[in-house]
């Protein structure tokens, strides 16, 4: 595989800068902290890092409300710090991806400050402005993800502006070609710095329906999703007019044309749409995004059938595109709590890592996943997330997955010498890096073992997939290249299980992956609780998805 295709099957480690390591005692992680821990990240056996936003921002949404796309917020350091980070990561053979947030800016961005002043200034139509209805209410029924109407009144213009997220995050008007060009220029700035990839936040939100048509209502039985249960009115609509508009496809091709001028650079799109899998397939077709990911495996549904059906459904729709999978990130409850219940175990943590990294696609793991961190119970008085504050107590927001990394078993986990921006849970101290380093059987060392073992098996990186129809709780499939076919099976429960596998012969079990090992005698598969089998076959099964 050429270096330009480094992203195919790569494992990308997501770093949330605020919570990684604080080096100046202000309680917030920073770029020098990432630099200090890059050797640790490289030692995990991952291929790349993805850094959440570190740009200048008033931090209403903790960096996803950007006031200047080309500068580093002093909270995180300087542009020179980022350049040092990039150089060290590349010296360690780590690729560097950065978050870009093209759909909206901060209200503090100079573009918006100019746009809101009048209806006839040079940037008057850089954002989505609309007249009120005759009774003064918002122009349509669109809702914000963070609750309430997606429109905010601006007295200077006597108009409403659109915000699909917080009121402090006005949406850019991508129907304006000058806006599209300005966004591409900001992306070019970081490409010229030498970044290896972009994670494009909310990329399907760039365009809106120019006619501002109302979204249709959604039946109560379909009101599900990330924080979109019945307590959030956002779930009450089919969001077909305020995002995922057909005009976005041409803009994705513009992004790709720019990226293609920088060999080896890849784009990963975050997609949250009415049918996210279909949108991923569409957005990665032809000369659009290199890969896309959604929230399908970031839900509460933990079953072999759901995983098999989800991955198969995407594979069936892909037309030359490439998927990306994640089971944790900075927006959802940590997977070990979400899928592991009240008493999750280290074997489950390592099984989930192996299961994720055995899927066909690029893989994103979230900082702390390698430690087996659980969701923190952040008390209301310590909450920082506006999403959680607005919907407490039914939905506690995203702070529970954003608490600082525990590096040492000491006060604040060795994250800071000051007061951390979010509290470090006491139960995380027992899982600190320093504690787990010296334990060969720890979750951390199990993570390292599997990641390095995976590198020796190209089929797990780029191989075709053929699922095997197995009963719960077993997920089984093959991964095949021209030179290697692997049989992979996972027991998603804590109890041992046995079953007959169809059409399996001459299989050689592989060791060294660090998981609880299953056995295969003829077609008889036996798996211990949270156990796995990796076996080499001497044939490629029919029906493997290339």
Does residue 118 lie in a domain region?
no
Q: Are residues 422 and 483 in the same domain?
A: no
What is the CATH classification number for the domain harbouring 471?
2.60.40.1180
Q: Are residues 469 and 450 in the same domain?
A: no
Cα separation, 248 vs 208, in Å, equals 9
Q: Are residues 525 and 421 in the same domain?
A: no
Q: Are residues 219 and 340 in the same domain?
A: yes
pLDDT the model gives residue 539: 63
The Cβ of residue 192 has, within 10 Å, a number of other Cβ atoms equal to 9
Are 476 and 501 a contacting pair, CB within 8 Å? yes
Closest CA to 1 of 266, 202, 292, 368: 266
Tell me the pLDDT of the chain (546 aa) as tens digits.
568 899 999 999 999 999 999 999 999 999 999 999 999 999 999 999 999 999 999 999 999 999 999 999 999 999 999 999 999 999 999 999 999 999 999 999 999 999 999 999 999 999 999 999 999 999 999 999 998 999 999 999 999 999 999 999 999 999 999 999 999 999 999 999 999 999 999 999 999 999 999 999 999 888 876 555 557 899 999 999 999 999 999 999 999 999 999 999 999 999 999 999 999 999 999 999 999 998 999 999 999 999 999 999 999 999 889 999 999 999 999 999 999 987 788 999 999 999 999 999 999 999 999 999 999 999 999 999 999 999 998 889 999 999 999 999 999 999 999 999 999 999 999 999 999 999 999 999 999 999 999 999 999 999 999 999 999 999 999 999 999 999 999 999 999 999 999 867 678 999 999 999 999 998 899 999 999 999 999 765 555 555
Instruction: Single out the residue in 393, 427, 454 at which a domain terminates.
Output: 454
Taking each helix axis from N to C terminus, what angle separates 248-259 and 177-193, rounded to the nearest 10 degrees? Answer: 30
Cα separation, 394 vs 43, in Å, equals 39
pLDDT the model gives residue 344: 86
Tell whether omega for the bond before 393 is within 30 degrees of 0, i.e. cis. Answer: yes
Q: Are residues 491 and 512 in the same domain?
A: yes
Cα separation, 389 vs 179, in Å, equals 33
pLDDT the model gives residue 2: 67
Q: Are residues 433 and 482 in the same domain?
A: no
Q: Are residues 528 and 415 in the same domain?
A: no
Does residue 157 lie in a domain region?
no
Does residue 146 lie in a domain region?
no
**DSSP assigned state of 171:** B
Does residue 120 lie in a domain region?
no
Q: Are residues 236 and 357 in the same domain?
A: yes
Q: Are residues 361 and 496 in the same domain?
A: no
Cα separation, 289 vs 252, in Å, equals 7
pLDDT the model gives residue 542: 54
Q: Are residues 254 and 383 in the same domain?
A: yes
Q: Are residues 502 and 387 in the same domain?
A: no
Instruction: Single out the residue in 454, 486, 510 at which a domain terminates.
Output: 454
Which structure tokens are listed for 45? 């056996």
| Number of domains forming the structure of the chain | 2
Active site members: 201, 270
pLDDT the model gives residue 538: 78
Does residue 44 lie in a domain region?
yes
- H or E, element range at 483: none
What is the CATH classification number for the domain harbouring 181?
3.20.20.80
Does residue 115 lie in a domain region?
no
In three state form, how does the secondary structure of 35-98 look?
HHCHHHHHHCCCCEEEECCCEECCCCCCCCCCCEEEEECCCCCCHHHHHHHHHHHHHCCCEEEE
Name every residue whose Cβ is closer than 8 Å to that of residue 174 and which is 6 or more positions away in sequence.
103, 180, 183, 206, 207, 247, 248, 251
Only one residue has tokens 């918002």, namely: 138
3-state DSSP: the chain helix, strand, coil percent, rounded to 5? Answer: 30, 20, 50
Cα separation, 486 vs 508, in Å, equals 9
Are 22 and 406 a contacting pair, CB within 8 Å? no
Does residue 520 lie in a domain region?
yes
Which structure tokens are listed for 123? 């940037």
Radius of gyration of the chain (CA): 23
pLDDT the model gives residue 50: 98
Domain residue limits at 492: 463-537
Q: Are residues 210 and 330 in the same domain?
A: yes
Instruction: Single out the residue in 400, 427, 454 at which a domain terminates.
Output: 454
Buried b (16+ CB within 10 A) or exposed e, 371-395: bbbbbbebeeeebbbbbbeebeeeb
Q: How large is the greatest C-alpha to C-alpha distance in the chain, in angstroms?
A: 77
Does residue 114 lie in a domain region?
no
Cα separation, 478 vs 489, in Å, equals 9
Name every residue whose Cβ is closer than 8 Å to that of residue 328 and which is 6 or more positions away in sequence.
298, 334, 335, 365, 366, 369, 401
């Amino acid at each position: 595989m050429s270096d330009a295709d480094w992203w195919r099957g790569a494992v990308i480690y997501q770093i949330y800068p605020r919570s990684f390591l604080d080096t100046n005692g202000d309680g917030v992680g920073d770029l020098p902290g990432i630099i200090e821990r890059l050797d640790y990240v490289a030692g995990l056996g991952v291929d790349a890092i993805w850094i959440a936003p570190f740009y200048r921002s008033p931090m209403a949404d903790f960096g996803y409300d950007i006031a200047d796309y080309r500068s580093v917020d002093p909270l995180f350091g300087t542009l020179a710090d980022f350049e040092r980070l990039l150089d060290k990561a590349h010296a360690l053979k780590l690729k560097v991806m950065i978050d870009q947030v093209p759909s909206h800016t901060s209200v503090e961005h100079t573009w918006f400050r100019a746009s809101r002043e009048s209806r006839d200034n040079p940037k008057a139509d850089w954002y989505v402005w609309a007249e009120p209805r005759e009774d003064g209410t918002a122009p349509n029924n669109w809702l914000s993800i963070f609750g309430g109407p997606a429109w905010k009144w601006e007295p200077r213009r006597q108009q409403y502006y659109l915000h699909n997220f917080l009121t402090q995050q006005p949406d850019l008007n991508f129907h304006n070609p000058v806006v599209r060009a300005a966004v591409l220029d900001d992306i070019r700035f970081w490409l010229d710095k030498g970044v290896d990839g972009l994670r494009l936040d909310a990329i399907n939100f760039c365009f809106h329906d120019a006619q501002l048509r109302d979204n249709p209502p959604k039946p109560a039985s379909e009101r599900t999703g990330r924080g979109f249960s019945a307590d959030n009115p956002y779930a009450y609509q089919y969001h077909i007019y305020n995002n995922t508009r057909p005009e976005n496809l041409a803009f994705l091709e513009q992004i790709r044309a720019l990226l293609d001028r920088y060999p080896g650079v890849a784009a990963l799109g975050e997609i949250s749409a009415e049918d996210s899998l279909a949108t991923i397939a569409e957005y990665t077709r032809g000369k659009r995004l290199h890969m896309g990911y959604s929230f399908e495996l970031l839900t509460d549904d933990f079953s072999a059938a759901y995983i098999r059906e989800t991955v198969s459904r995407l594979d069936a729709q892909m037309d030359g595109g490439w998927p990306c999978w994640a089971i944790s990130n900075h927006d959802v409850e940590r997977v070990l709590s979400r899928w592991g219940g009240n008493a999750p175990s280290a074997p489950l943590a390592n099984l989930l890592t192996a299961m994720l990294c055995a899927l066909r696609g690029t893989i994103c793991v979230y900082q702390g996943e390698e430690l087996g961190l659980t969701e923190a119970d952040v008390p209301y008085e310590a909450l920082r997330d506006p999403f959680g504050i607005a919907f407490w107590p039914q939905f506690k927001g995203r702070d529970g997955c954003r608490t600082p990394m525990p590096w040492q078993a000491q006060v604040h986990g060795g994250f800071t010498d000051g007061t951390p921006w979010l509290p470090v849970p006491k139960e995380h101290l027992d899982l600190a890096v320093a504690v787990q380093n010296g334990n060969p059987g720890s979750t951390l060392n199990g993570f390292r073992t599997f990641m390095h073992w995976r590198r020796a098996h190209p089929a797990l990186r780029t191989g075709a997939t053929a699922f095997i129809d197995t009963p719960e709780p077993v997920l089984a499939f093959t991964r095949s290249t021209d030179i290697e076919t692997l049989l992979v099976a996972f027991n998603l429960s804590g109890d041992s299980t046995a079953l007959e596998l169809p059409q399996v012969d001459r299989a050689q079990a592989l060791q060294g992956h660090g998981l609880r090992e299953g056995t295969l005698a003829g077609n008889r598969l036996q798996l211990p609780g949270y156990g796995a089998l990796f076996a080499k076959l001497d044939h490629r099964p029919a029906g493997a998805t290339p």
